[in-house]
Amino acid sequence: MTTVFVTHPQDKLDLYFGERAARALQAIAEVRFNPLARELSTAELAAAAQDCDLLIAYRQTPGPAELFDALPRLAAFVRCAMDIRTVDVEAASARGVLVTRASPGFVPAVAEWILGVMINLGRGIGRYVQVYREGGAPEPVMGCQLRAATLGVIGYGQIGRYLGEAAQALGMRVLACDPEPIVNAQLLEQVALPALLAQSDFVVCLAPANERTEHLMNAQAFAAMKRGAFFINAARGELVDDQALLAALDAGHLGGCATDVGRAPDQMPAPALAAHPRVIATPHIGGLTRPAIEHQALETVSQVGALLRGEVPPGAVNPAQASRLARWKGAA
């Protein structure tokens, strides 16, 4: 019987995989789980999965060449997430190992998180709550409502589109900056980044993280934003210069910031930024809802099922080089 090793730490298994997916996986394969409440090192993982056919990898589990060298039986590295930047796909391909990833089932969850923090930032809800909890009497201040405000979305992918439609339903003007032409987007204005920054009351960063977008939001970008505007990062920490953001907050140029990501381990917000009084920081939970998690977990189980039937599953990154899949060839 095919043996699958699930790398999720024990304390993350329910949150990021779930009982439903675990039962579905056990119905089609012999399953082994990471026994520890932490990530296994590459050497520990290689030892634990030595005779396994497949790995279902937690979002933080790296896939370096050393791992593929140490697992001659491994046929597929199945990422239970979208991000495969820590997987050496070239090394996997050279050894005939398939790499797959899940599709984004977290689109509504992340968009809802963004709408929630926009309302919180614009109305100062968190500040009022904190003062009351400390026994004080907060002083009311004028809020910023979403209706008639301008939302600027940097990176108009699936989350951006979902968010843009929701914002338009709330009566917001929506600007979008994306390198690709945006089609079938009624009432949306596609603009260059300087125009978006200058006109938006809320700037939401949803761009992909790569060499071109490193520090996309830097001192110059924050200075170009409207005074009193709000910045929200729901993409990746690498896109933001934290020191420049802190300076813009300290100077009072920005009205506030919300972030669910950062440069701390596991894409957590940096402590110095998270502690700032004008920042709403959450521990990378934008997509942490049961429907979102089950979407990706069950999709990885579906990918395993496809492999056992001798099929190349959706989400396969390097199927042409995956020679180790031959063991299931003709299974259908």
Q: Which active-site residues does the annotation give?
A: 236, 284
Backbone angles phi, psi at 174, to 5 degrees: -120, 125
Q: Which two tokens stand for residue 293?
A: 């998690």
Backbone angles phi, psi at 224, to 5 degrees: -80, -15
Q: How many other C-beta atoms can be found within 10 angstroms of the C-beta atom of residue 18?
A: 18
Largest CA distance in the chain: 72
Those residues whose C-beta lies under 8 Å from the C-beta of residue 271, and which sit 6 or more positions away, are: 264
Q: Which two tokens stand for residue 74?
A: 């491994």
CA 199 to chain centroid: 27
CB 317 within 8 A of CB 85: no
Which amino acid is residue 15, in one-letter code?
Answer: L
CA distance 247 to 251: 6
Between the alpha carbon of residue 71 and those of residues 25, 234, 267, 291, 307, the distances in Å are 21, 35, 28, 33, 18
Identify which of 41, 39, 28 has the alpha carbon closest to the alpha carbon of residue 2.
28
Q: Which two tokens stand for residue 188?
A: 């949306």
Backbone angles phi, psi at 87, to 5 degrees: -105, 125
Residues 60/84/19/234 CA torsion (nearest 10 deg): 80
Identify which of 249, 277, 279 has the alpha carbon closest to the alpha carbon of residue 261.
279
Between the alpha carbon of residue 310 and those of residues 28, 30, 113, the distances in Å are 14, 18, 39
CA distance 286 to 54: 29
